[in-house]
Amino acid sequence: MRRVAALYDIHGNLPALRAVLAEIQREQVDHIVIGGDVANGPLPVATLDALIGLGTHVSYVMGNGDLEVAAAYDGEELAASVLDESPAARSSVFAATQISAAHRELVGSFQPTVTLEVDGLGPVLFCHGSPRSDTEIITTLTPDARLGEILAADANPPTIVGGHTHRQFDHIAYRWRFINAGSVGMPYEGTLGAFWAMLGPDIELRRTGYDIAAAIEELRAGGFDDVDEMFEESLLEPMDPDQVARLFEQGVTS
């Protein structure tokens, strides 16, 4: 494939997804990879419908949020302590009450990893957190020694694309090049926009601008009560991305 667009961590932010898809339509893209955490957010139905409308040239990677939505749809309960602390977890439960059986079937078809041949890069593995776990934390502060340990499987190709921590970076450690595509819907970049990646023949980390104020109003109208809390540190009052990375890394070492 000549060019592949990687869209991660949409989190039910339909306005951000619309903006990115409009930009992609102006590009010569052969394939789109949706990298997980799609519907757990304020507009789950419309977000999934927009992706269904893309047709067959799309691959889906399973994110931890997608697993939460599927589990909640199937009647499993998340721990009360998790729901109390995490608006993202509450958004998974909200999404499960909104989606249809067809949406649940689509989410269930997501794969742990996807590998594609990309011109100029060869085989590229797309995962959510890491190739071995959808919840594994990899940030700009992750030491090379730990990153090498995470990626050290013979089956892993030299180029790996992930997400989960919502901040773009492109880092080489030992024989691997690990790219975080960023987050379309809930970025921790310290600046506003929708963040994604274009692959082939090299890798471009992209930012797409859109009307954030109008988007927040649209998200608030979707019926999810915790929109402001969920997007406070990404879109309303963007948190320093280095501080976010430190918090993620503290969770790994604590």
The total of other beta-carbon atoms located within 10 Å of residue 30's CB is 14
Q: Output the CA torsion sign for 111, 115, 118, 120.
A: positive
- Residue with token string 């926009």: 193
66 vs 40: CA distance, rounded Å: 7
Predicted pLDDT at 253: 53
State the amino acid at position 9 in one-letter form. Answer: D
131 vs 99: CA distance, rounded Å: 28
CA angle 238, 90, 32 (to 5 degrees): 65
Predicted pLDDT at 254: 41
Predicted pLDDT at 29: 94
Predicted pLDDT at 81: 65
Tens place of pLDDT per residue across the chain (254 aa):
799 999 999 999 999 999 999 999 999 899 999 999 999 999 999 999 999 999 889 999 999 999 999 999 999 987 776 777 789 889 999 999 999 999 999 999 999 999 999 999 999 999 999 999 999 999 999 999 999 999 998 889 999 999 999 999 999 999 999 999 999 999 999 999 999 999 999 999 999 999 999 999 999 999 999 999 999 999 999 999 999 999 999 976 54
* Nearest residue to 186 (alpha-carbon basis) of 162, 212, 218: 212
